[in-house]
Amino acid sequence: MRPELRVVGEVPSDVDAIGSVVASPQAHPEAGYLAAVGFSGKAGESATLPGSPMRVVVGDCDPRRLGAAFARAVKRHRSAAFLVPEDCAVGPFAEAALLASYRFSKYKSAAEESALERLDLVTSQASAALDRARVVARAVGLARDLVNEPGGVLTPQVFAERAAEIAATTGLEYEVWDESRIAAERLGGLLGVARGSTQAPRLVRLAYRPDMADHATIALVGKGITFDSGGLSIKATNFMVDMKYDMAGAAAVVGAMSALRDLTCPTAAVAWLPLTDNMSGGDATRLGDVLRTRNGVTIEVRNADAEGRLILADALALAAESQPDAIVDIATLTDAVPMVIGRRYAGLAGNDEAWIARIAAAARRAGELVWPMPLDGVERKMLDSKVADVVNATGNRYGQSAVAALFLKEFVPDGLPWAHLDIAGPAFADEDDGELTAGGTGYGVRTMIELLMSPDGARTP
């Protein structure tokens, strides 16, 4: 990803812009000018000072907001340098600068691209952190690229092909199941959702195994609905327009997996990606139909727009069969989470408090926001069906995110630590904000990488 990052001991003579932190603009030699342009030193705020090279001052804040604010301020310049404070971690700064420079302009006739080709970080800190920042930012960018593709382009088959290409170039094992293999493997939830589409479903399995013999294995499950019309429970236009992002969970898993070999990750990871779109064709699953999933559990379909949990049911059962030490699923599952806690947070639930705590800690270190969701506020009997083992939707408007997580729990054996990340809010952004850019955000990539790379993540929960 652009720009090229370097750690240097002093400001190079050929840079077009120089940046620094100003926490107290009143004490700055050009305080009057800063006051005139309205610079107050707030977190993430920036202002330019006259002169050559251009000088940029940024309000005091955490390294991520600093990196993002500076990258945006100098995007029209070819080269820039930033005087990194000693208490500012260079890795998160660099990662955010790269992510803020991301653009998806494939379909723009005249795209506005960042002109920044080189960013020099003036610091005495070691440059090793830049290597990780580059790898992580590339992984997030990959996930963003997948999410930003139109649903008519990134069909299940195309997604599977791209996942296989990424796996081949990043040292991962991979396997792609076509529709006949999916049927042979008894993935009734995935087949049921796919029935209304002319696009055949796919199931992708990716695996990374570290070189050391003693390691834990974590299973990652990503929801891959490449476009969600709601099926026969069709969505209104304003709720459907961005539904190309309903595969953001699968995209995040692909992005995270792509980084593990380059980072020499100590934890093994096996990923399961069920891929289909949810359309309303002539043979679409009808309300009241019963689907039989991989582990034999039968599901009465009461809402065709509650399809993500149907494909995740099969993938979770497969993940459990692979006998990992723990499972994480990540999915744009319910609108209820962002309605309660906003667009920046993911909901986090699960069956093991220690595993949930480790994921929450990894998210904090990665700079991504999660909020725990209790499952004991809803009752299992809400999922009871008169004709099958469970229903996929209750019709009760209370606690819908927890109900969805409780449904997923049905497909994880007792005693196997499992956690669920509902990323319906943070997976897509309406506008640029800090290191996020409008469109797919790649949310979850950094959390999963941090979890797998950390000592806690490498041990059995």
Residues of the chain with pLDDT under 50: none
- CATH 3.40.630.10 placement within the chain: 134-458
pLDDT at 1: 63
Q: Tell me 24's DSSP state.
A: -
pLDDT at 87: 86
Provide the token pair at 17: 């812009």
| Superfamily for the 134-458 domain | Zn peptidases (3.40.630.10)
pLDDT 10s digits, 242-264: 999 999 999 999 999 999 999 99
Residue whose C-alpha is closest to residue 378's, from 396, 360, 391, 390:
396
pLDDT 10s digits, 94-143: 999 999 999 998 888 876 777 889 999 999 887 789 999 999 999 999 99
- Tally the C-alpha atoms within 13 A of residue 459's C-alpha that lie toward its C-beta: 7
pLDDT at 455: 66
> 195, 309, 358, 446: which one is catalytic?
309
Q: Which residues contact 315 (CB under 8 A, 6 or more apart)?
A: 190, 203, 221, 272, 273, 274, 329
DSSP 388-426: SSEES--S--TTHHHHHHHHHHTTS-TTS-EEEEE-TTT
Rounded to two decimals, the pTM is 0.94
> 55, 132, 235, 292: which one is catalytic?
235
Hey, what amino acid is at 399? G
Q: How far is CA 241 from the centre of its chain?
A: 20
Residue whose C-alpha is closest to residue 381's, from 394, 371, 399:
394
Q: Do the Cβ atoms of 283 and 231 come closer than 8 Å?
A: no
309 is catalytic: yes
pLDDT at 456: 62
| Superfamily for the 4-122 domain | Leucine Aminopeptidase, subunit E, domain 1 (3.40.220.10)
- CATH 3.40.220.10 placement within the chain: 4-122
pLDDT at 424: 97
106 is catalytic: no
pLDDT at 308: 98
